[in-house]
Amino acid sequence: MAAPVFMRGAQGLWAIDGSKYSSDAIAEIDKSNSCKSMTFSDDGSLFAWCNADSAYIMDAKTMEIIQDLGLPKLVDLKFSPRGSVLASWNNYMVNRDGGAGMPNLHIFDVQTGEIKKSYIQKKQINWNPEWSADEGICVRNVNNELQFYESNNYDQVANKLHLQKVSAFSLAKGSSPYSIAAYVPGSKGQPSFVRIYRYPHLSGLQAAVATKSFFKADRINFFWNKTGHSLLVLTSTESSDSSYYGEQGLHYLNINGDSCLVPLQKQGAIYHVEWLPNQTEFILIHGYMPAKSTIYNLKCEPVFDFGTGPRNICSVNPQGTVLCLAGFGNLAGNLEFWDLKQRRQLAQTQAADTTHFEWCPDGQHLLTCTTAPRLRVGNGYRIWHYTGTLMLQKFTEAHAELWEVHWRPQPLDQAPKFSISTKPVASDAAVEQPKAKAGAYRPPHARGTPGAPPPVQKPLQEYEPPSNAKDSDKAPSKNKKKRDARKARAAAHESEGASAIPSEQATSSYTSTSEVKVESTGDPEKDKKLRNLRKKVQQIEKLREQQAAGKTMEKNQLDKIKTLDSLLEEIKSLEI
């Protein structure tokens, strides 16, 4: 069954029962319009939110408030992985009396509601501490130093990693020994670099188990696999000589010390990176639109290509069985559902104006929503089945803004098992599927002339089909396509017959599209002129084939076709 859906917006904070596909609220949690943030614990048992008056912790199953933290004007919240502590952040302020800064990052004990520790954290970017999955260690970046705490004891720093000008870090969610990656930006001609350490071995020149250096990195993102053994590092620049939007690069590192640059199969931006559930493969969406979606192995070799399409984001359901490839933002909102094991497409639909989407814990349903401030009109949410069926659609009333929508998490072992099917499911709610938008605009010269038969319309974008990169017959298939194309052209040429050219005998030796061969007349100048004339005849024949296929000809091309008879007469005169 689908899990409850929690929503935050100008109308307050409320929840609906996603399993019944009904927009009726099962709980109105907060009726104020000042809710700044909401968050769940990883197992979905706890829920926390904050408004202008205070912050609250609630049992997400019984909907009962268990702690009122009594701290107003909080901005952001985050639970530790096991829900033992709650971290909060509010805007940094200075004490008017003493002039000293006031602590604005607080660590709360969930059981008692008391503050365990408070820190000063001026910037909201990367404000939150990071924990290992078992909460064995917690790490913060403090003035070029990564400080580690063990077993949620924040009174004493258990270990430190000092790196000059370290600006970003990422702690893997795997088990002990824990992996930590640190990034130091380059300066004065020196490259930037990322280093991986294994806790608690943090000091000494040989402490790093892997290092990767690179230029052209103004921003950086880390992507660990769940085991904490492999890391993908996405680097980005603000701008570059080749693109206003900058350049990007994807680098691979592992704890064995191996590192490399992931080779891209298409030039352009990198839109999304995600590890697959087997933790030995990752999917990459990249390249100029239509973007290419490719699965790589740990050797950074492509193993499967989903082809190209209007995509810029992907997500795998919690069970690791269904993959969703989507195109949001400035794209039309296409949703493609794929059977990840069989590598086949299950369904395709469209969710226009989507600003956020996520899988339900049951692995069968998907939530898409339109929220502010990205879009301030048409706010609402939809629930889909992976077969492409729209189960529920709800828009806010009176243009009220919707800010955030999430499923309540639940452990994977509590989700029901299911078999993948391509048959659309029945929807109890009479939901009208979104209508497809009008076709793409075509300029007047591409629409054909009045009274003439309509030209054969070709898609504005030619999409590449999916392919298995390991298939050994890939090269022969390309050659087969070329042979088939040549046979098709020859058949089309023969079908024109004598009606295409007045004298079949006069053209039999030079209407072929193969290489031009001229029997010598003994006069070099005459031979050169014959070769040029026959090349022109071949070009005209290609234009005639395109015209017969329905392609609209330009005026200069039509004029060129009309010169065929005169060229043939000139060739005859030279051959005599």
pLDDT tens string 493-510:
555 443 343 333 333 333
Upper half-sphere CA count for residue 486 (Cβ side, 13 Å): 9
Q: Work out the pLDDT band at 522, boundaries 50, 70, 90.
A: low
Look at residue 126 in the predicted model and tell me its pLDDT.
85
Q: Work out the pLDDT band at 443, boundaries 50, 70, 90.
A: low
Strands 168-171 and 402-407: unpaired
| pLDDT tens-digit series, residues 173-202 | 888 889 999 999 888 888 889 999 999 888
Query: CA–CA separation, 51 vs 393, rounded Å?
Result: 28
Share of the chain above pLDDT 70, in %: 84
Share of the chain above pLDDT 90, in %: 37
Look at residue 108 in the predicted model and tell me its pLDDT.
94
**Between 205 and 472, whose confidence is greater?**
205
Section 527-545 average pLDDT: 85
Section 223-245 average pLDDT: 85
* Secondary element (H or E) of residue 303: strand 302-309
Look at residue 503 in the predicted model and tell me its pLDDT.
37
Cis peptide before 290 (omega within 30 of 0): yes
Look at residue 477 in the predicted model and tell me its pLDDT.
52
Q: Are 137 and 178 a contacting pair, CB within 8 Å?
A: yes
Query: CA–CA separation, 322 vs 336, rounded Å?
Result: 10
Tokens of 135: 């909460």
pTM, two decimals, is 0.73
Look at residue 561 in the predicted model and tell me its pLDDT.
86
* Most confident among 267-281, 502-516, 529-543 (mean pLDDT): 267-281
Look at residue 562 in the predicted model and tell me its pLDDT.
86
Nearest CA-CA partner of 397 in 34, 8, 25, 11: 11
Q: Does pLDDT of 392 surpass 80?
A: yes
Look at residue 510 in the predicted model and tell me its pLDDT.
39
Burial class (CB in 10 A: 0-12, 13-18, 19+), 278: exposed
Domain boundaries, given as residue ranges, for the chain: 129-240, 498-575
